[in-house]
Amino acid sequence: MQETFFDHLPKEPVTLSEGAILLPGMALNLDANIPSLLNLIQAASPFRNMITPGGHTMSVAMTNCGKFGWVTDKTGYRYDPVDPLTNQPWPAMPASFLEIAIGAAVAAGYPEFQPDACLINRYLPGSKLSLHQDRNEADFTHPIVSVSLGLPASFLFGGLKRKDAVKKYTLEHGDVVVWGGPSRLRFHGVNTLKMGEHPVLGEQRINLTFRKVV
């Protein structure tokens, strides 16, 4: 029998819904250089707790790399080619990040995906991300690719309406979730992060979310 991509995953892939899949351990090869890459990015564009249009300070700290960065403030949600904190372009997306994002998208059935933005979320114990949709992008035919690093997290994956039933999946270090097609606008979030310490990233979870903005 011919070998496939899925034969190299530590665990079997998990279908979350039509067009959405969990690829366990796909990003484990980022272990060696992820701390240094994150240090370079945050040195140029520091993590910050952004303000929502409603005036709420997010518990998750964020920064970006790539041609565009996702930002929120009292004027609204948007993508911007310039970091409003530094007035400089966002740091370039590392080649290893891009390789993981494209590889995961191809494995999930989205061979045309070429991300131009990577939102980097830093979760400390006690932080969470409420249910939301990713809908600030220009074209919803492109998927979302989400890479989990560091502490495990409880990922919430709902339906196309906020009130729809929500399923919970434990995401471990190196897991990648891809959703697109009929699942592209499903609500999703992350439960409150529990205490713990990861041997590579310490007492935190890092999430890389790759998107095609334009």
**Domain hosting residue 170, numbered range:** 5-211
Q: How confident is the model at residue 29 (pLDDT cuts 50, 70, 90)?
A: confident
Q: Of all residues in the chain, what percent carry a pLDDT higher than 70? A: 95
Provide the whole-model pTM.
0.95
DSSP states of the chain as a string? ----GGGGSSS--EEEETTEEEETTTTGGGTTTHHHHHHHHHHHS--B--B-TTSPBPSSEEEEEESBEEEEETTEEEEESEETTTTEEPPPPPHHHHHHHHHHHHHTT-TT----EEEEEEEPTT--EEEE----SS-TTS-EEEEEEES-EEEEE--SSTTS--EEEEE-TT-EEEE-GGGTT--EEEPPPPP--BTTTBS-EEEEEEE---
Task: Give the pLDDT of residue 3.
Answer: 46
The pLDDT of 34-56, averaged and rounded, is 96
Task: Give the pLDDT of residue 2.
Answer: 44
* Pairing mode, strands 69-73 and 88-89: unpaired
Number of structural domains in the chain? 1
Task: Give the pLDDT of residue 1.
Answer: 45
The pLDDT of 143-152, averaged and rounded, is 98
pLDDT surpasses 80 at 20? yes
pLDDT surpasses 90 at 117? yes
CATH code of 72's domain: 2.60.120.590
The pLDDT of 183-191, averaged and rounded, is 98
Q: Which of 178, 120, 121 is nearest to 144 (CA)?
A: 178
pLDDT surpasses 60 at 5? no
Task: Give the pLDDT of residue 11.
Answer: 80
Q: How confident is the model at residue 182 (pLDDT cuts 50, 70, 90)?
A: very high
State the virtual CA torsion across 77, 169, 116, 119 in degrees, nearest 10. Answer: 50
Instruction: Measure the CA–CA gap between 52 and 74, rounded to whole angstroms.
Output: 6
Q: What are the tokens at 130?
A: 């409420």
